[in-house]
């Protein structure tokens, strides 16, 4: 059942199961801030798959009656999976689609915190659910010719009626299977959970600039991971842009009045390059999925095309190979326009993207995509000193402006991850490891060690290097393919 009034029907009910993705972390941060405002006690449990969710639920089900699931649980029959007590209530805020029809029409234990203006296209109740009719027992004896004619005629009519009902039942079931197949055949994602939680804060008049930033990062995570279409991204950016103007309007013409510890969010058009403001422009061009795949940076010809691209802009290698912050100011002033103009000549027409940036005081500036890459790398780190829970906690902490050291550490991990990913791709292609299998291309990596284990996961960063139909499989995800469900089916 969908929740119509988020505040009355959901708020103040608390055991949090949070999936291991950036959008879920951002939604969790907003919810934590709301709970802190009202002194609500809660327990937070990170989960990274169905097995962990089932185990965690079994551990806690005796202590709680209300359970909140963020980015997990919407697209399966939750009650069938978890087998909870009849008084357990689940609040599900999940971007995974399609939403399981049993969850939609369960009016007692499942409450869906999902924006219904998404194109859900849930089948009608009568098309997929039908009251079971008890078969009428026709005990009686078979006609042996000695029964009265009227009785035999009535029996024949009843048999004909039952036969007709069975035919109608089979036809209804066939239609039901077709309807469910059409509804469930494709997996996609809806509105960011962080945006849903920010809407809750806004309705409660408790939305803050920090919460708005987390909503922005959650949406940007969906875009970076290719979970939503460009049109959906632009539409949601427009929604958040209005909130940014509302929260930050006084800063537009009064930058000189900002305090050292202020937080300021701005909307801007920026480059489709990963971490370039915290890296060198050359490294970013070589290790961003979008540019590396179009230049075919792993080939000699691709390297030549990159050199031609830089020459077309008039950028010397000495400048582009040093840290971006150290480049000549005269070059940085018009860099975006120069790159966009030259990119159009090289067939890259999507080099400019709508995004947001945040300033912490005068010194620290981050694009939303920077925070996504950093947080994702911290969460997926394979450093031996950390466990999965430690990684989750570090990633969650990095979203707070009081923990910028962790955010910068995440940026360094992200750069190592992107560089290692590009090297693996180059090795796969140059050694002919890519295999054609019908409409898919794939390669199998038996031993892979990255600064982060987001090698396969739910998609990027690895796959866009190769093609829209290519999967790279490690032993951790050999059963996954481009068309398979995510780790939360």
3-state SS track over 7-38: HHHHCCCCCEEEECCHHHHHHHHHHHHHHHHC
Work out the average pLDDT over 272-296. 91
The beta strands (E) that lie in 228-282 are given as 263-271
Contacts with 195 (C-beta within 8 Å, 6 or more apart), sequence order = 215, 218, 219, 236, 239, 240
Residue 235 has a pLDDT of 94
Give the tens place of pLDDT for each residue, 450-489: 554 433 333 344 444 444 334 444 333 333 333 333 344 3
pLDDT band at 332 (very low <50, low <70, confident <90, very high): confident
Q: In this structure, are strands 89-93 and 66-70 parallel, antiparallel, or unpaired? A: parallel
Residue 440 has a pLDDT of 81
Within 10 Å of residue 330's Cβ, how many Cβ atoms? 8
Residue 386 has a pLDDT of 64
Give the tens place of pLDDT for each residue, 41-58: 888 999 988 889 999 999
pLDDT band at 134 (very low <50, low <70, confident <90, very high): very low
- State what percent of residues in the chain have pLDDT above 70: 81
**Angle separating helix axes 368-379 and 22-37, nearest 10 degrees:** 100
Residue 232 has a pLDDT of 93
Give the tens place of pLDDT for each residue, 353-378: 999 999 887 778 899 999 999 999 99
Give the tens place of pLDDT for each residue, 162-178: 888 888 889 888 999 99
Q: How far apart are CA 486 and CA 489, in angstroms?
A: 6
Residue 256 has a pLDDT of 47
13-17, 73-77, 97-101: least confidently modelled range: 13-17
Instruction: Tell me: pLDDT of 195 over 50.
Output: yes
Residue 390 has a pLDDT of 87
Residue 470 has a pLDDT of 44
* Total-model pTM: 0.84
């Amino acid at each position: 059942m969908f929740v119509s009034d988020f505040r009355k029907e959901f708020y103040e009910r608390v055991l949090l199961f949070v999936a291991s993705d950036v959008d879920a972390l951002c939604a969790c941060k907003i919810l934590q801030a709301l709970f802190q405002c009202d002194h609500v006690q809660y327990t937070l449990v990170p989960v990274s798959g169905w097995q962990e969710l089932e185990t965690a639920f079994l551990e806690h089900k005796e202590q709680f009656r209300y359970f909140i699931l963020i980015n997990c649980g919407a697209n399966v029959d939750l009650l069938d999976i978890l087998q909870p007590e009849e008084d357990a209530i689940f609040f599900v805020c999940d971007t995974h689609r399609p939403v399981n029809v049993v969850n939609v029409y369960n009016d007692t234990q499942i409450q869906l915190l999902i924006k219904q203006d998404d194109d859900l296209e849930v089948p009608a109740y009568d098309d997929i659910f039908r009251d079971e009719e008890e078969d009428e027992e026709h005990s009686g004896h078979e006609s042996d010719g000695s029964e009265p004619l009227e009785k035999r005629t009535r029996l024949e009519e009843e048999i004909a009626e039952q036969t007709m009902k069975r035919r109608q039942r089979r036809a209804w079931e066939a239609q039901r299977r077709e309807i469910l197949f059409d509804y469930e055949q494709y997996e996609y994602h809806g509105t960011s959970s962080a945006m849903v939680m920010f809407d809750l804060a806004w309705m409660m008049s408790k939305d803050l600039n920090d919460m708005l930033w987390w909503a922005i990062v959650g949406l940007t995570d969906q875009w970076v991971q290719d979970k939503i279409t460009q049109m959906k991204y632009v539409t949601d950016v427009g929604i958040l842009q209005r909130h940014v103007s509302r929260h930050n309007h006084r800063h537009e013409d009064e930058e000189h009045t900002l305090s050292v510890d202020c937080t300021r969010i701005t909307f801007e058009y920026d480059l489709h390059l990963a971490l370039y403001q915290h890296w060198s422009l050359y490294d970013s061009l070589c290790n961003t999925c979008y540019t590396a795949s179009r230049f075919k940076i792993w080939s000699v010809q691709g390297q030549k095309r990159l050199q031609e691209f830089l020459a077309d802009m008039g950028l010397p290698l000495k400048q582009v190979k040093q840290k971006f912050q150290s480049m000549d100011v005269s070059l940085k002033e018009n860099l975006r326009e120069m790159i966009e103009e030259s990119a159009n000549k090289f067939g890259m027409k999507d080099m400019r993207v709508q995004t947001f940036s945040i300033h912490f005081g005068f010194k620290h500036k981050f694009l939303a995509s920077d925070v996504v890459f950093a947080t994702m790398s911290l969460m997926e780190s394979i450093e031996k000193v950390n466990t999965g829970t430690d990684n989750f906690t570090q990633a969650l902490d990095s979203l707070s402006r009081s923990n910028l050291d962790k955010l910068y550490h995440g940026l360094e991990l992200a750069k190592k991850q992107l560089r290692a990913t590009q090297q693996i791709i180059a090795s796969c292609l140059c050694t002919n490891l890519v295999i054609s299998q019908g409409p898919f291309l794939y390669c199998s990596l038996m031993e892979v060690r990255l600064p982060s284990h987001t090698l396969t996961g739910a998609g990027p960063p690895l796959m866009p290097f190769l093609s829209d139909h290519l999967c790279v499989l490690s032993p951790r995800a050999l059963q996954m393919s481009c068309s398979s469900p995510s780790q939360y089916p």
